[in-house]
Amino acid sequence: MTLLPETTEKKLGLVIDLDTCVGCHACVVSCKGWNTENYGAPLSDQDPYGGAPSGTFLNRVHSFEVTPKEGAAQLVHFPKSCLHCEDAPCVTVCPTGASYKRVEDGIVLVNESDCIGCGLCAWACPYGAREMDQAEGVMKKCTLCVDRIYNENLPEEDRQPACVRTCPSGARHFGDLGDPESEVSLLVAERGGMDLMPEQGTKPVNKYLPPRPRDAAIDILAPLLEPVATGPKGFLGWLDKALEKI
Amino acid sequence: MHPAPSVILFTVLSGLGFGMLFWLGAGYPSVTGWSAFAFFTVAYLLAVGGLSASTFHLGHPERALKAFTQWRSSWLSREAWLSVASLLFMAVYGAGKVFFAANWILFGGIGAVLALTTVYATAMIYTQLKTVPRWNQPTTPALFVLLSVSGGALLTNQLWAALPLFAIAIAVQIYAWKTGDTALVTSGSSIESATGLGDKGSVRAFEPPHTGTNYLMREMVFTVARKHAMKLRIIAVVLLALPLLLLLASAPGHLLGALAVLAHLAGVLTLRWLFFAEAEHVVGLYYGKR
- Predicted pLDDT of residue A215: 60
A84-115 pLDDT, tens digit each: 999 999 999 999 999 999 999 999 999 999 99
State how beta strands A131-132 and A54-55 pair.
Answer: unpaired
- Identify the band that residue A65 occupies on the pLDDT scale cut at 50, 70 and 90: very high
- Across the interface, whether the CB atoms of B220 and A128 are under 8 A apart is answered yes
Most B CBs within 10 Å, among A2, A70, A96, to test the B interface: A96
**A78/B contact by beta carbon, under 8 A:** yes
Q: What domains appear along chain B, each with residue ranges and CATH number?
A: 5-287 (1.20.1630.10)
Task: Please state, in angstroms and rounded to a whole number, the distance separating the CA atoms of residues B52 and B68.
Answer: 15
Report A:185-224 residues touching B (Cβ under 8 A).
194-201, 208, 210-211
**Full pLDDT tens readout for chain B, 290 residues:** 999 999 999 999 999 999 999 999 999 898 888 999 999 999 999 999 999 988 888 999 999 999 999 999 999 999 999 999 999 999 999 999 999 988 899 999 999 999 999 999 999 999 999 999 999 999 999 999 999 999 999 999 898 999 899 999 999 999 999 999 999 999 999 999 999 999 999 999 999 999 889 999 999 987 766 778 899 999 999 999 998 888 877 666 788 888 999 999 999 999 999 999 999 999 999 999 87
Task: Please state, in angstroms and rounded to a whole number, the distance separating the CA atoms of residues A37 and A53.
Answer: 20
What value of ipTM does the predicted structure carry? 0.93
Please check whether residue A108 lies inside any domain of the structure.
Answer: yes
Please check whether residue A241 lies inside any domain of the structure.
Answer: no
Please check whether residue A226 lies inside any domain of the structure.
Answer: no
The amino acid that residue B85 corresponds to is: A
Report B:91-150 residues touching A (Cβ under 8 A).
125, 128-132
> Is the Cβ–Cβ distance between A17 and A171 less than 8 Å?
yes
CATH of the domain at A201: 3.30.70.20
Q: What is the CA radius of gyration of chain A?
A: 24
Q: Which domain holds residue A67?
A: 12-212
* Total domains in the fold of chain A: 1
Task: Give CA torsion, residues A232, A238, A239, A245, to 10 deg.
Answer: 110
Strand partners for A209:
A17
Of A58-62, A209-213, A219-223, the range with the highest mean pLDDT is: A58-62
State the smallest CA–CA distance between residue A181 and chain B in angstroms: 24
A17-30 pLDDT, tens digit each: 999 999 999 999 99
What is the CB neighbour count within 10 angstroms for residue B247? 18
- Across the interface, whether the CB atoms of A127 and B283 are under 8 A apart is answered yes
Please check whether residue A87 lies inside any domain of the structure.
Answer: yes
- Across the interface, whether the CB atoms of B215 and A92 are under 8 A apart is answered no
**A and B: number of Cβ contacts within 8 A:** 198
Please check whether residue A114 lies inside any domain of the structure.
Answer: yes
Q: What is the CA radius of gyration of chain B?
A: 21
Please check whether residue A238 lies inside any domain of the structure.
Answer: no
> Is the Cβ–Cβ distance between A55 and B214 less than 8 Å?
yes
Residue A66 has its nearest CB partner, among B59, B200, B282, at: B200
Closest residue of chain B to A212, computed from CA coordinates: B200
> Is the Cβ–Cβ distance between B240 and B174 less than 8 Å?
no
State the smallest CA–CA distance between residue A14 and chain B in angstroms: 16
Please check whether residue A245 lies inside any domain of the structure.
Answer: no
Please check whether residue A25 lies inside any domain of the structure.
Answer: yes
Q: Angle formed by the axes of helices B139-155 and B5-25, to 10°?
A: 60
A107-155 pLDDT, tens digit each: 999 999 999 999 999 999 999 999 999 999 999 999 999 999 999 999 9
